[in-house]
Amino acid sequence: MKSLTLRNLHKTYFDPAVGTRVTAIQDVSLEIGPGEFVAVVGPAGCGKSTILNMVAGFLPATRGDIIVGDRPVKGPGRDRGVVFQNFALLPWKTVIDNVGFGLKMRGIAKPERDRIAMEFLELAGLSHAAERYPNELSGGMQQRAGVVRALANEPDVLLMDEPFASVDAQTRMTLQEELMRIWGERRHTVLFITHDVGEAVFLADRVVVLSKGHVLREIPITIPRPRG
């Protein structure tokens, strides 16, 4: 796994309402070690998704550097896997084909990508649903499939933007525990975004508190795992 470094990141957006650029992210620096799980927590509008989208390469930074391992981020790449709150599974594809989609894009043949997809579906306890379509799954299972899809590409860094915010509390706990188990086995470098302090403390090695686009403080979480 690789480290993720954010160095003096700035992001301004043009706001047509006021006719000027407004600052969304201000001088954010963060060092996430290989295999480390870092949660960024903060209220709505504080810039969490802006940071994640810049790291994912979907959004250019106004200023500053993002480095994965020793490579500067110039755009989206396979070294980073992204899971959003509402992970858009392709509704016309089965779960196994959704999970294997990134592998297909890389030119991996069907039998091999089915084998890889199945391995990751088993890891998440979802192999029984391999041939189902997304609309035949519960919200929790869809979200689980979204996580599996990101994992199947074997990214160095996993980027998660409030991935469990739209499922019920019971399912959320199950998904958090599953993520901990999978992370325990695979040790991805994780940048996990949430507005839920409890979730951040349950999951992370370190919690970064974001306020109005800048880092307020960083809190190491030393509670031994499993937690809760």
Ligand X SMILES: Nc1ncnc2c1ncn2[C@@H]1O[C@H](COP(=O)(O)OP(=O)(O)O)[C@@H](O)[C@H]1O
Beta carbon nearer to Mg ion, 62 or 85: 85
Beta carbon nearer to Mg ion, 48 or 149: 48
Cα–Cα dist 86/101, whole Å: 17
Cα–Cα dist 40/219, whole Å: 10
To Mg ion, the closest distance from the beta carbon of 210 in angstroms equals 11
Interaction residues for ligand X, span 1-20 (CB under 6 A): 13, 15
58 makes contact with ligand X (CB under 6 A): no
139 makes contact with ligand X (CB under 6 A): no
184 makes contact with ligand X (CB under 6 A): no
Burial of 70 (0-12, 13-18, 19+ CB in 10 A): exposed
What is the total count of residues that contact ligand X (CB under 6 A)? 11
* Residue from 71, 41, 9 nearest 193 by CA: 41
Beta carbon nearer to ligand X, 44 or 223: 44
Beta carbon nearer to ligand X, 46 or 121: 46
Burial of 134 (0-12, 13-18, 19+ CB in 10 A): buried
* Residue from 138, 124, 223 nearest 175 by CA: 124
Interface characters, 29-48, with ligand X (x: CB under 6 A):
-------------x-xxxxx
Interface pick for Mg ion out of 25, 32, 49, 146 (rule CB under 5 A): 49
142 makes contact with ligand X (CB under 6 A): no
Distances 170 to 139, 140, 175, 191, 225 between C-alpha atoms, Å:
12, 10, 9, 23, 20
Read off φ and ψ for residue 7, nearest 5 degrees. -125, 115
Beta carbon nearer to ligand X, 22 or 88: 22
To ligand X, the closest distance from the beta carbon of 194 in angstroms equals 10
To ligand X, the closest distance from the beta carbon of 63 in angstroms equals 16
To ligand X, the closest distance from the beta carbon of 47 in angstroms equals 4
**Where would I find the beta strands (DSSP E) of the chain?**
4-15, 20-32, 37-41, 63-68, 71-72, 80-83, 157-161, 189-194, 206-211, 214-220
Q: Can you give the binding site for ligand X, defined by CB under 6 A?
A: 13, 15, 24, 42, 44-50
